[in-house]
């Protein structure tokens, strides 16, 4: 058992191997009492949300095909195909997942099959939630349409006796309460649950500049993400057009695609194309897995492919096949798509596989802290202006101080690259998500860094934020900055709200030195946060960082003088704009 496997928590207390062995001894197939083969597992409101619910029964794979297999000829990016459930965002995330074999081994444990000497009607899969990995046990009874004689949910259209797609979808439905809870969502949420990574969202037409990237740099960024093993999805906003409207170019409005590879055209193709972005091609997959594909330049049937040699075409899997996979130029991608979501892989994913130092340079390092906002204590709201409706309690929000230094092997003038991410965890399951934001301040050089200190507005300089407050599970900020001391302030838009959170920092080539956590609390208040910024599975031979943390007990708050003069915007996530069926 690896070091990582010791940290896995059994979901709902179900021990996979114990249950399987018991079923084998008793010569019976497992029937999951927590997620039973009933309509309620499809939906709490199945009569309204599932029009053909009367046609659905539950069948095990061996009742559907003669020779069921969990995996046939390896896991491939073309395996996942969407069923009747409106969850293209999840299917696209599955396709992206297939591009990282290391992560696949974690999500889909290899110790299971339909072999008669092993099979007991039970399987298990693993997902990440709020810094904890869970092992999800399911039985293999799947929703099946009697009249159409096919599975109701996700499946493999090309190898009908392969069932990893259908079973993984069922496990994720169990984690989320039922199947229809997957009907409409954000692909990056699934990618994060697959990996424990940090999400990053790009609005290509509006806020790309907030990410410190320019359009000319975006292809190089995508290339780097794929090289690093990050998982990527993209979509087109519906705006006034109906969801899943098929455009004349073959792309689908309000539909999620996975990005699975890139290719850089050689200069010999066209020596006038000097920039990488001009020579860049990107490979996509439509989770429908059919003939609804891009039909413009570099599409499957475009004769322009004949300009490349046969060996290159074969390596890029160029074929006229109705499988939902196609290529586009980067420039066409940037023109046609509105949103790109990236999940950067957590370094602990690679730790268990014993990466070498050379390998480790291709991945991120991470630190994290579990914290909370509490009404009347440290939930200070959004506004730092004098005369606001909150009375300017912003500076009562939790404060996290970090000092950034570069690894000794790098030039001192080099900028530090890092991602700061804030993930909320509602106190009550399935409650509405709060509007959240991170602001990053640089502590002025004349200010002393010490413990038990709450920083005032005139001691810091605001340098970045995650943008307007938004009701998403996670928000993140990517930036390149100089070494020095920084103040991170996570906050909610409204004052005096209760919510737990996870704050994470991913960095490249960066060492975090002294770290302080300052949290307001009453003397009698039991702070639920772990006041500690933990370094988790650092993949480099460096001395572990020193961690200092203190809770600051104070009822004082500070009013801003000239900071944040503009009103703090709050942007709601609306299903018609940001979630995809």
Long-range CB contacts (within 8 A, 24+) of 246-249: 246/292, 249/294, 249/295, 249/296, 249/336
Residue 52 to residues 47, 61, 94, 119, 184, Cα–Cα distance (Å): 9, 21, 26, 31, 19
74: burial class by Cβ within 10 Å (0-12, 13-18, 19+)?
exposed
> CA-to-CA distance for 365 and 536, rounded, in angstroms?
8
DSSP 264-295: E--TTT-TT--SHHHHEEEEEE-TT-SS----
Tell me which residue has tokens 């194309």: 273
Q: Which helix (H) or strand (E) holds 263?
A: strand 256-264
- Burial label for 147, CB within 10 Å (0-12, 13-18, 19+), is exposed
Q: Are 578 and 181 within 8 A, CB to CB?
A: no
Say if CB 143 and CB 42 are below 8 A apart. yes
Distance spanning both ends of the chain, measured CA to CA = 39
Which residues form the catalytic set?
Answer: 88, 255, 286
Report whether 259 contacts 233 (CB < 8 A). yes
Tokens of 375: 């009404």
Which of 291, 293, 292 is closest to 328 using CA atoms? 293
Distance of CA 412 to the CA centre of its chain: 32
| Residue pointed to by tokens 């459930």 | 85
């Amino acid at each position: 058992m690896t070091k990582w496997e010791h940290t896995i928590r059994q979901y709902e207390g179900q021990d996979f191997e114990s249950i399987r062995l018991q079923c084998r001894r008793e010569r019976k197939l497992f029937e999951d009492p927590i997620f039973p083969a009933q309509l309620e597992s499809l939906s709490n409101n199945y009569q309204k949300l599932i029009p053909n619910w009367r046609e659905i029964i539950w069948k095990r794979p061996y009742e559907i095909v003669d020779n069921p297999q969990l995996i046939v000829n390896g896991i491939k990016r073309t395996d996942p195909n969407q069923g009747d459930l409106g969850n293209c965002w999840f299917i696209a995330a599955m396709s992206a997942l297939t591009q990282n074999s290391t992560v696949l081994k974690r999500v889909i444990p290899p110790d299971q099959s339909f072999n008669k000497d092993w099979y007991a009607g039970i399987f298990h899969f693993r997902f990440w939630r709020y810094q904890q990995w869970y092992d999800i046990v399911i039985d293999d009874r799947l929703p099946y349409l009697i009249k159409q004689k096919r599975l109701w949910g996700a499946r493999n259209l090309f190898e009908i006796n392969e069932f990893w797609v259908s079973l993984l979808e069922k496990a994720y439905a169990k984690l989320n309460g039922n199947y229809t809870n997957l009907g409409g969502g954000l692909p990056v949420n699934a990618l994060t649950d697959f990996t424990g990574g940090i999400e990053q969202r790009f609005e290509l037409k509006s806020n790309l500049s907030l990410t410190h990237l320019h359009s000319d740099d975006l292809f190089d960024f995508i290339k780097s993400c794929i090289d690093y093993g990050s998982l990527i999805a993209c979509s087109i906003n519906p705006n006034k057009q109906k969801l899943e409207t098929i455009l004349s170019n073959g792309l689908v409005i309000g539909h999620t695609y996975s990005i699975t590879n890139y290719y850089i055209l050689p200069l010999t193709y066209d020596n006038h194309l000097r920039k990488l972005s001009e020579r860049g091609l990107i490979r996509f997959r439509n989770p429908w897995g059919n003939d609804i594909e891009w039909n413009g330049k570099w599409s499957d049937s475009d004769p322009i492919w004949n300009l490349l040699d046969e060996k290159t075409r074969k390596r890029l899997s160029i074929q006229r096949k109705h499988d939902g996979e196609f290529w586009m130029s980067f420039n066409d991608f940037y023109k046609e798509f509105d949103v790109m979501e990236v999940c950067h892989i957590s370094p602990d994913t690679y730790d268990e596989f014993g990466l070498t130092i050379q390998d480790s340079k291709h991945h991120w390092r991470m630190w994290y802290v579990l914290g909370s906002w509490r009404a009347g204590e440290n939930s200070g709201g959004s506004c730092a202006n004098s005369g606001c409706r909150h009375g300017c309690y912003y500076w009562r929000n939790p404060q996290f101080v970090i000092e950034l230094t570069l690894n000794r092997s790098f030039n001192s003038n080099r900028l530090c690259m890092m991602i700061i991410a804030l993930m909320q965890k509602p106190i009550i399951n399935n409650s509405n998500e709060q509007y959240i934001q991170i602001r990053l301040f640089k502590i002025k050089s004349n200010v002393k860094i010490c413990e038990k200190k709450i920083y005032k507005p005139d001691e810091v300089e605001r340098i970045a934020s995650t943008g307007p407050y938004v009701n998403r599970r996670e928000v993140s900020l990517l930036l390149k900055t100089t070494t020095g001391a920084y103040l991170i302030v996570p906050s909610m838009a409204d004052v005096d709200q209760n919510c737990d959170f996870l704050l994470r920092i991913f960095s490249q080539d960066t060492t975090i030195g002294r770290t302080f956590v300052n949290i307001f609390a009453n003397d009698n208040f039991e702070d639920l946060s772990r006041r500690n910024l933990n370094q988790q599975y650092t993949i480099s031979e460096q001395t572990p960082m020193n961690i200092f943390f203190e809770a600051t007990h104070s009822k004082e708050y500070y009013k801003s003088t000239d900071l944040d003069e503009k009103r703090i915007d709050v942007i709601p996530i609306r299903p018609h704009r940001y979630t995809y069926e």
